[in-house]
Structure 1
Amino acid sequence: MSGHSKWANIKHKKAKTDAIKGRIFTKLAREIMVAARAGGADPNGNFRLKIAIDNAKAANLPNDNIQRAIQKGAGAGEGANYEELRYEGYGPGGVAIMVELMTDNRNRTASEMRHLFSKNGGNLGETGSVSWMFTEKGQLDVPKEDLKMDEDEIMLLALEAGAEDVASEDESYEIFTEPDSMQEVRQVLLDSKIPIENVAINLIPVNRVEIADIEQAKKIIKLIDSLESHDDVQKVYTNFDLAESLEDADL
């Protein structure tokens, strides 16, 4: 379903770099705010908020920041009123790109997204132009470090709990579920003392487009980096994969 690609590994390593820089803290706090606003400030009755808090703690977001984000989302104190949006488009080589973001100014963000796509050799599309190339799946990342189960054992446990697929990456196992099954699978893993690094509903490409040209690959990655660096952007999804010939390329 996913994983087993050099691009997946690049994204995983890049996410760690972003966390070191602190950029991801803003995205995590924003997700907590929106989750609290949508479903209330009690994580026991708001699964989205519970997951957002768990992910924030896994990334070492300070507890004070977490509590402030919950309070702002629940209406205590002043804070921007964020709305969730998705933008769709094409990158160099015709690869599909989906952008999830939270913004307090829809018009400004639309203009800036259009500029970023155009500047980096892409095109912002209409709603529905590429979304059909992706499917929503729950994703749970289990770090391999200090894990006392081997790949077969973790796969059997996950599948018996209701997961659809398990992919092995360099540093973690990616467990995929139907969105409605994610909470149940997560609980089975926790009950089995399995550490979970990240839990989310992600967009998984139905089919991947292989890119073998290094210059084209660089342009795609530059566009994705530009989008991910935007303050309003939470996640960027794409359906491209790097050809084996680029395995050792400097990207």
Structure 2
Amino acid sequence: MAGHSKWKNIQRRKNAQDAKRGKIFMKHAKDIYLAAKQGGGDPDMNPSLRLAVDKAKSDNMPNDNIDRAIKKATGNLDGANFEELTYEGYGPGGTAVMVEVLTDNRNRTASELRHAFSRNGGNLGENGCVAFMFHRKGYLVIEQSTTEADEDSIMLEVIEAGAEEMETADGAYEIYTDPDDFQSVKMALEESGFTFATAEVTMIPETLSDVDKDSAEKMVKLVHMLEDMEDVQEVYHNLNADEEIMDQL
């Protein structure tokens, strides 16, 4: 999990400094739209929607934007029909990459993804080419600075809440859950007074891919290019580089 943690720490810093708020809100709106379309517009009865709304609020998305996305999905407003797709490929140095998108035009999205991969030394692959290298997990991060509880006390709370694993790294407690248990674990820990720097269901690589500095630089450019695409919701990969290189990037 350490390589994943290292990348997530970089991503948290990147997200905190990201000035492209409109693009972030658009991605949240699509996520909310899809969750409401599939499971209904009531967050109390739709865990996927509740998670999407929580993530949007954590980025300070206005309530009006959230409500509009839900109304579009439930037929109360006119809007485009989106579909959720996952693309797979290989990045520089043979790294595995998975890209989750929400799009109203799959041909446009596939073309843009193919361009991003080829421009940065990778290639878009067939479905299933790298999916077996990842598994889906709930992921919660409690910053040590936000709690006075010690590690042993938090571990007991985490176990009692039903989580699978907890690790301590880079000034934070990282908690992993079964995806089906994510919401119940999150709610139990919230009731115990904990707040989260990150709370999401994500893809964790089974194995990490070691690359040199040149490949690492190209990989970071690829990830940033993918994340800047309007249709892209999430990017997962198994990059592992020297810690000094990752700090520089």
Q: TM-score range by the shorter chain?
A: over 0.9
Question: What amino acid is the match of 2:230?
Answer: D
Structure 2: tracts of 5 or more residues without a match: none
**C-alpha spacing 1:227/1:38, structure 2 compared with 1 (3 Å):** same
Structure 1: tracts of 5 or more residues without a match: none
Paired residue for 1:76?
Answer: 76
Paired residue for 1:13?
Answer: 13
Paired residue for 2:173?
Answer: 173
Paired residue for 2:90?
Answer: 90
Per-residue deviation, 1:196: 2.7
Kindly indicate whether residue 154 of structure 2 is the aligned counterpart of residue 136 of structure 1. no
Measured in 1, the distance between the counterparts of 2:181 and 2:6 equals: 28
SS in 2 for 1:132: helix
Paired residue for 2:108?
Answer: 108
Paired residue for 1:60?
Answer: 60
Question: What amino acid is the match of 2:56?
Answer: A
Paired residue for 1:158?
Answer: 158
Paired residue for 1:223?
Answer: 222
**C-alpha spacing 1:76/1:93, structure 2 compared with 1 (3 Å):** same
Q: Deviations over 1:189-230 (max 9, x none)?
A: 02111113443221100011122x221110010111111111
Measured in 1, the distance between the counterparts of 2:84 and 2:4 equals: 30
**C-alpha spacing 1:199/1:147, structure 2 compared with 1 (3 Å):** same
Contact (CA 8 Å) 1:31, 1:52: kept in 2 or not? yes
SS in 2 for 1:43: coil
Contact (CA 8 Å) 1:58, 1:197: kept in 2 or not? no
> What TM-score results when the alignment is normalised by the length of structure 2?
0.93
Per-residue deviation, 1:50: 0.9
> What TM-score results when the alignment is normalised by the length of structure 1?
0.92
Contact (CA 8 Å) 1:9, 1:169: kept in 2 or not? no
Paired residue for 2:188?
Answer: 188
Q: Deviations over 1:55-95 (max 9, x none)?
A: 11111111111111111121111111110000000001000
SS in 1 for 2:44: helix
Measured in 2, the distance between the counterparts of 1:4 and 1:229 equals: 21
Paired residue for 2:238?
Answer: 239
